[in-house]
Structures are given as C-alpha cells and as structure tokens.
Chains A and B, each alone.
Chain A
Amino acid sequence: GIIATMTEQRKEYLFKVLVIGELGVGKTSVIKRYVHQIFSQHYRATIGVDFALKVVHWDGETLIRLQLWDIAGQERFGNMTRVYYREAVGAFIVFDATRASTFEAVNKWKNDLDNKVTLPDGRNIPTVLLGNKIDQMRGGLLSNKQQMDNYCDEKGFVAWFETSAKANINIDEAAKYLIDKILDNERSYSRNLPDPEALELNKDDDEKSGCCR
C-alpha cells in the first residue's frame, strides 16, 4: 500500500484510502468534492468500485498520491470487498446524518473493515467517521458531540467529522486529518520495520485487545 520513494529530501507516497458506507450516503460526492472541487446532484450509483486520484503537496518535502476507492454500498458486494480493501492504509466510513439507519450500519462496516484489512504491523487502519449531508440537518451533529466522541472511542475511529459535499464543509479537514494519521503510522512502521520481532509482539497485543473476532 505505501510506496515511498526517496529522492534526496523529497518523499513521495501512494496511499490507498477506502471510502465505505451504506447505499446513497454520498461517498461519490465526498470524493468528487475532494478531488475535483465540484458537486452535482446527478451522480450515478457506483457499480462495484470506482477510484479517484488526488495529488497532495503535503509540505515542501512530501508529495502524496491519494488513491480513493469509492466502494459500492450494497451488502451483496461484501464478498468482493476483501479484494477492494487489500493494501488500504486508511478509510473513511460515511453515513448520512439525516438517515439513522445509515448510522446504525456504521458498526457493521467498521467490523467488516477491521476483519478484512490491517496494517502490515497488524493494527487496524486509521478510520475517520464522516456524518455527511449535514447541510440538510438542522443543528448538525455537534449537539451530540460527547456521544459521538464516546462512540468513536469505543469503535476505534481516529476521529469524526460532520461534512457536506454539497456545501463543502469539512471535507478537506477530514482528509488532512486522515493523511496525518497515515503518515504517523507510516513513520512508525518504517521505524519498526528493521525489527520483525517487535512487529510480531505488536500484533499479539492488538489481537488481545480486540473483541468478538
């Protein structure tokens, strides 16, 4: 998943990031907003998977190619997601803030994700929760801030954002946050890489703390 090329001071990365969630929560819209800075009411339902590429000039020394995998929301495709999830280093799980059922399904998606993909060192990949279509919801999710924080803590999300692809709210921020986490992991991973035993230990620890695998 992570390809880093060092050219003197400059570092180039390719990060595969998944965007998952229930049918029609706005995964494609979030991606299009982030990559092309556009929004349309007229996106087609995604068949199987779609991807987009965003080149991010992170800082003077780091160039990041973010490959965003837009994965169809229908449960039926679950059997194929193992292929799609492979080598991913980060993920967004999106729900529609105006539809409770899509939030209820977040847990299912998170479990699915954690079951099918881990970082090379065995830890779960950093995942950000996005409550999308916030422009259509009065008051937003902030009124439930504490609850949301607790939920994310409990389910192992690195953060949550209320977003709107339509009104361009928090999309860039969420992406920035996730990239930051991925970079952190990448750095610690490359630090640990020379010592395979440490890696093994790490993995064991992680599996112990998991639940209901």
Chain B
Amino acid sequence: MAKQGWLKYRQKGGLVGRIAGFREHRLWFVLYENCTISGYKDENTGTAKPDVVFDLRHSAVTINQEENYQFELISDKHNVVMLAEDYDDVKDWVSAIQTTRSIAHGVSPAPKKTQRKTSNTDSISIESGSYKMSMPPSPLDSNSNGHGDEYEWDNPITPADPSPVSLTSNMDEQGALFQLSKELSEAKAELTKCRDRITSYQEVLASRDQQLFEIQDQINNQETNEKSRAVTSEGYHNMEEQARSYREQNCLLNEEVLKLHQMCQKYKDQAHQQRRKADKLAIELRRTQRDYVSVMGHCVYHPLVDVEEDVRFMVSEPNRHVANLKNLSKTMKSENDRILGCSIPTLGKTEHTDMFGFIHNLPNEVLQIEYLCSHLTEAYDALLDASEENQKLVKKWKSFMHEHSEKFEVTPQLQKLILQCMPAHYRSYIWQKFIHYYVLEIKQGRGDSYYEELLKHQEIYKLDRDFSKSFKQIMMDVPRTMPGNRDFTTQDSPLRDRLTRVLTAFCIHAPKIGYCQGFNFLAGASLLFLEEVDAFWFIIAVIEVIFPEDYYRNGLAGLLADQYVLQKIIPLEIPKLNDHLTKYPEVDIAAVTTGWFLGLFFDCLPFKTLIRVWDCFLAFGHEAVFRVSCAILKQFEDRLLELHEPSHLLHAIKNIPKLCTHPEQLIKEAFEGLHHFPSWSEIKEQRAKLEVELIEEHEKKMQQRRHYDERMMMLDHFEDSNILPRNEDKWNFECATSTPSGFILLSASNRMTQNSRLYISDC
C-alpha cells in the first residue's frame, strides 16, 4: 500500500450524497498500488472487507480551499470529500494519490516538481494550495508629517512708544502746565488701563489660540485616521476580489482538468479499441493461416492400401502453395521456432525429431509438406491458445485442479473437460492423478516403496522358469519398443533401463499375468510423461483395474471377447461398412482390431492422437477403446466402401488409424458422434459371457496340450530306457497312455513293415 491513515469522508452530490446528506464517516483508509483507496472500519485491514472502495485511476483530486484540511475525489462515479487531521496530512494524501495514479497510468512517478509542471496533461493535479492572505505593506502605515501644520503663536503686540509733547507758555503756562500734567496723568492712567486691557485681551487670545490649536490637532488626527481607514478597506476588498477570481479559476481549471481527463480517457479508449481490433485481426489472421495450413495438410492424399508410397499433394497450383508454406514456416521459425518444444520442420529435410523425441523419416516432398502442415497447424494452435477461448478452458482446468487437489475423482465434469481439451503442460499431472485414483486399493498395504522392493529381489525371481522366460522377452522387446525415439535409440538410453525395470517389476507383481507383448508399449509411451514409479502404476491401472481381470490371461480371452463384441457394435453404428465387409468373408477385421486393443492403439495412431485417446481412456475406461475403434472405422467408412479387393480392404483397415492426424476430430466422433452405441452395461454383459466361453475353450485346449506334452515325455522315456527296438526303421508312435496302476502303454507302428506293436513299461 502506498499510504494509510484515518480520514473522515462524506459523499457529495449524487444519489448517495443526497440521501446520506452530509453525514461523515470516520474510516481507516488504505491507498493501494493499484490506485484504489479503500476505507475500513478499523486498522485491521487483513481480511476485513472494506466499507468503501474508490477507484482513483480516473479521478481528479483537489484540495478544497473553502474549508480546512479537506480534499475531494471527483470522477464520473463518485464525488467524495475527505477530511484529514491537518494540512500536511492533506498534502501527503494528495501527493500519494497522484503518485499511485501515475504508476497506475503507466507514468513513472517523476520528481514532484516536474510532475507538478506537467500536471496539466495526464495526471490531474490541482494545487489550489493555501491562499494565505499575506498583505502587501501599505504606504499608509508609514508616519507622515505632511498634514500636521505647526502654528507659532508669537505675541504680535509690542508696547506703543509715548507720543512726544512740547510745553511753550508759563502761567498760563503754569496752569496750562498743571492742566497739562493732570491731563498727562489722566492720560497715563488711561494708558495703564488700556495696557491692562490689552494684556487681558492678549491672554484671552492666547487661550483661544490654544483651543484652536487643539481643535486643529484633533481635526488633523481625525483626518489621518479616516484616510488610513479608507486605504485598508480598499486593500481588503481587492484581496477578496482576487480570492474569488482564484476560486473561480480553480473551478474552471477543475472542469478543464476533468474535461481533459475525459478526452484523454476517450482517446485512451479509442486507442484501446484500436489495439483490440488490431489484436483481433491478428488473431483472425492467425486463424486463417492456421486453417490454410490445415487445409493444405488435408490436401495430401494417401491411398489407403499403400499409405506412404503413392502419396500425392492434391492442389491446383502446388508450387504456389509450397512457396506459401515455405514463407509461413520461415515466419514461424523466426518468431517462435521452439513453440512446440521442437523446431519447426523445414521443407527439403528428410528427417525431423518431433516434440516427443520421435524421429520422423520423410523421404518425399509430399510427406514433408504434410508433416510441416501438421506442425504449423499446431504452432498456430499454440499461439492461439493464448486467445480468450482457450484461456477459458485453461482456467476451467485450473479451477478444477484447485478444487480437486485433495481428493481426485473421475466425475462427469472431469470427463467433459477431458473431451474439451487437455493442456499439454497438465498432462503428466492429470495422468498421475488418474493412475493413483485407479490403483488406490491395490496400493493399500503394499507400502510406499513397493516398486523398489519388487526390484530388489528380481535376482531371486530369475530362478523361476516363467519369470526368466518373461524377463528374456522383456530384454528382447525393450530395444524394439520405441526405436524411433531419441530417448530410446541407444543402448544406454536412460528410458530403456527404466522401461526394463517397470516391466520386470510388473512381472514380479503379477506373476500370473507375466509379460505380454504390448505392455512394453504401454509402459514405454507413458515413460515419456511419467516418472518411472508412476509408469509402473500406470500399467497396473490399465492391466488390472481398467481392463477386466482376464484380459491378458487365459489365452487373451478378454481381448478376444472384445473383438467379438466390437463386431456386434459395428453393424449398429456403421451399417454400410458392415454390409460391405460381409461381402468379403476373408476380411476378418479382428486381425487388425486386436492390435488396437492390445497396445491401446500404440503403433496405430499418430502419437499426438494416441495421447489424446489415452487421456480419454483414463477418463472413460475400457469403453473408450470400443468407441475410438468405431470412430476410426466410421471416419473412413466412405473411402473403405470404395475398395472391393479383399486384400486391399484389410490393408486399408490396418492403415487408417495412421491417417487420424486430427485428434479432436476423432474424439468428437468417438464420444459425441456415435448415436447407436450400446450402453456400457450391455457391452459389459455381452463380453463377460463371451469371455467365460473363451476361457473354458482355452482351458480345454490347455488340457489337451498338457496331455500331448505328457505323451511326448513318455516317448522320451521309452527311447531312453531302450524298450523300443533300435533299428534303422522308422517308428511312428500312434498313441501312448498311462494306466492308473502306473504302467505306460505305447502303440507304435513301423513305417517300413507296417507292423504295429504295443509296448508296456512301468514309470
């Protein structure tokens, strides 16, 4: 997870928002790398289911500037408000969301700075940030002196100078003088009075001035205050305007971002659609190419009687198609040469080793074309395997194996799956599961190292006559089991040793069955998929569990019974072929089909078809062999009807399995295309009855054989004991018998003399 922590959240808008109103929930939110954010009830997120999950890949995230510590997540689907603890937390969340979103969008998270710069393109980030109201310094704040006028109140009144007076007469002059002096003193008194008055006036004036000054000062102060107040309110107003415009811009940008995002999404969707279209076309092209090579493969015509000699490429312009095939194989080689686990074959090369290690000889061009086509078809199939359709099947297998990892059972569901497909890389695992399901009871009480124990004592068993005979046959057959396989060709091939040990261990495990030719093929082919010990259990599963008890014993009674039963099914399922074959009594198809049953189609079907048939055999058991046998004949019914020469018919029937190069076609025919196939219980009943008869017959024969051997031994006894005349004449021994009293009677006639004699001897 990228970040986690407590957040309150509420829905905003939308139906939920309207219903829930503004109810807030406090949840423990976890932001995951896949760019989803989930809210849990508590921090214990391990197994808890989140209460809410928001996909942030296509969301815009924005910090809500209207309220503190909030951010919003907006997309087509949701619109939620998240409340964090503090602003730092908000920032952390937003940047974490941006980073995960970038990663989810495939943009490697760039250093934050550059990311913010490029945020208008892909990732949507709105850094509305903090609108801090930092005020510009106002010029009004500074102390200004401009307005405070200084009044200087100088006393303007200066004392007046006394006016100058001249005195000219005596008496008169005296009187006059007195008069004058009186007038002077009066005038002086008057002056003093005036002076006082002036002073008092001056005082009043001064106090008035003072008052005026104060008032002026007050006025001044008031003016200053008013002015500064006006400036401040103007700034505030401006800021508010700015903020509003920012907000609007932010909304606009948000819208823009969402629009851009939608556009981006649209282009992305378009690109995605284009890519899907291109992919679809590429798949289409591959399908067509696959069908083309498959059709080309089908154009190779094999005469049924001599499958490889007179093979022909039946197309109108063979050279053009050969050139096409060369091109396709070249492309495939350069793109994916090892897609099949082996190289793509080359036209012109006469040898090729396939994915299972089988070395194929391709002596002529037509066989090479057919072989190349089958490989190319498969290569295209493998490429198409990645397509949705096949992915679904693989998913089904996966879920099946997951469900049944503990207890594996053969269920109809599993059978259906097997018919649909078997992913090559699951085959070993599934086979192993099947095998151990079948041998569960046999394994009980045998111990885990049963196989190793059996082999430990093989030297002792070699003293046993039957075992040593079986062992000699095993040694003879091992090199002849899959000589055309890389892992078997040389004497020191490890698979040869494993095969010898598996077959030997089986002989010791089931001495009554011993070694029957055919087991080598079962074990040998299974060793290409299974561990040695599993291959051992595989042949036990086939021989002792899936096939009935007497299948490989008592003169192969079970195997023979199956052939009779098959010949009773053929008229029901393939009546026209049956009518055709009855015209030629010398054509006994049992001669061919016995081999199909005995080695489970090994050496008959192409290996790739064989293993698909074995898948079905493990899932459907014994019945599968009947069904596949019928399907092989049915697929070639029309061509067999064209043959009228008995020897040709028999050869054709022998050869047709080799031409079953399309496993799915065969399987479909076998399990879905046979409409008159009797029920398994019917078949089982019929074959059991026949088996009993055949065993009785076989036992009778074995008894006769024993009697014959006894007689021969008695003859030897006579010869040794010199009872018979030793002459040159030739004696024919007509019969010999032993009496209850212990005598041996022998009748002989002489060829030359025609005499008969009876000899008696005691044992």
Show the binding face of A for B, using Cβ within 8 Å.
1, 3, 14, 23-24, 41-51, 53, 65, 67, 72, 74, 76-80, 83-84, 86-87, 211-212
Contacts and interface: CB of A to CB of B under 8 A. Distances in A.
A53 B651 contact: yes
A83 B589 CA distance: 10
A76 B555 contact: yes
A45 B701 CA distance: 27
Interface in B514-555: 516-518, 520-521, 552, 555
B506 interface: no
B646 interface: yes
A103 to B, nearest CB: 16
B420 interface: no
A42 B483 contact: yes
A65 B647 CA distance: 9
A42, A44, A46, A87, most chain B CB atoms within 10 A: A44
B602 interface: yes
B603 A44 contact: yes
Contacts of B505: none
Given A14-B647, A42-B483, A79 B556 contact: yes
Given A49-B592, A51-B591, 13 more contacts: A24-B476, A41-B483, A45-B480, A45-B481, A45-B520, A46-B517, A47-B517, A51-B654, A53-B306, A76-B555, A77-B556, A84-B591, A86-B586
B472 to A, nearest CB: 8
A1 B586 contact: yes
Interface of B, secondary structure class, is: helix
Contacts of A24: 476-477, 480
A42 B484 contact: yes
Interface of B: 305-306, 473, 476-477, 480-484, 489, 516-518, 520-521, 552, 555-557, 559-560, 586, 588, 590-592, 594-595, 598-599, 602-603, 645-648, 650-651, 654, 698, 701, 708, 711-712, 732-734
B595 A48 contact: yes
B711 A80 contact: no
A65 to B, nearest CB: 6
Contact of A44 (B480, B698, B734): B480
Contacts of B598: 47-48
A79 B711 CA distance: 22
B560 A42 contact: no
A112 B701 CA distance: 12
A72 B518 CA distance: 10
Contact of A212 (B516, B602, B708): B708
A42 B602 contact: no
Contacts of B520: 45
24 contacts: A14-B646, A23-B477, A24-B480, A42-B483, A42-B484, A47-B517, A47-B595, A47-B598, A47-B602, A48-B591, A48-B594, A50-B654, A51-B650, A51-B651, A53-B306, A74-B516, A76-B552, A78-B555, A79-B698, A80-B560, A80-B594, A83-B588, A83-B590, A84-B591
Contacts, number: 98
Contacts of B733: 211-212
A24 B586 CA distance: 28
B701 to A, nearest CB: 8
Given A45-B480, A45-B520, A87-B586, A53 B594 contact: no
Contacts of B555: 76, 78-80
Contacts of B599: 47
Given A42-B489, A44-B481, A23 B476 contact: yes
A74 B473 contact: yes
Contacts of A44: 480-484, 603
Contacts of A211: 732-734
B125 to A, nearest CB: 73
Nearest to A77: B556
Contacts of B489: 42
B296 to A, nearest CB: 28
Nearest to B594: A48
A65 B592 CA distance: 19
A78 B734 CA distance: 25
A48 B601 CA distance: 12
A212 B591 contact: no
Contacts of A83: 588, 590-591
A53 B303 CA distance: 14
B703 to A, nearest CB: 14
B488 to A, nearest CB: 9
Contacts of A14: 645-647
A40 to B, nearest CB: 8
A63 to B, nearest CB: 12
Contacts of B732: 211
Nearest to B473: A23
A47 B552 CA distance: 13
A51 B651 CA distance: 7
Nearest to B517: A74
Nearest to A74: B517
A48 B734 CA distance: 35
B659 to A, nearest CB: 17
A1 B585 CA distance: 11
A211 B736 CA distance: 12
B304 to A, nearest CB: 12
Contacts of B650: 51, 67
A47 B651 contact: no
Given A51-B651, A80-B556, A212-B711, A43 B480 contact: yes
Contacts of A51: 591, 650-651, 654
Contacts of B586: 1, 86-87
A55 to B, nearest CB: 10
Contacts of A42: 483-484, 489
A53 B591 contact: no
Nearest to B588: A83
B353 to A, nearest CB: 14
A212 B705 CA distance: 12
A142 to B, nearest CB: 26
Contacts of A48: 591, 594-595, 598
A182 B279 CA distance: 69
A158 B598 CA distance: 34
B473, B481, B708, most chain A CB atoms within 10 A: B473
A23, A46, A48, A72, most chain B CB atoms within 10 A: A48
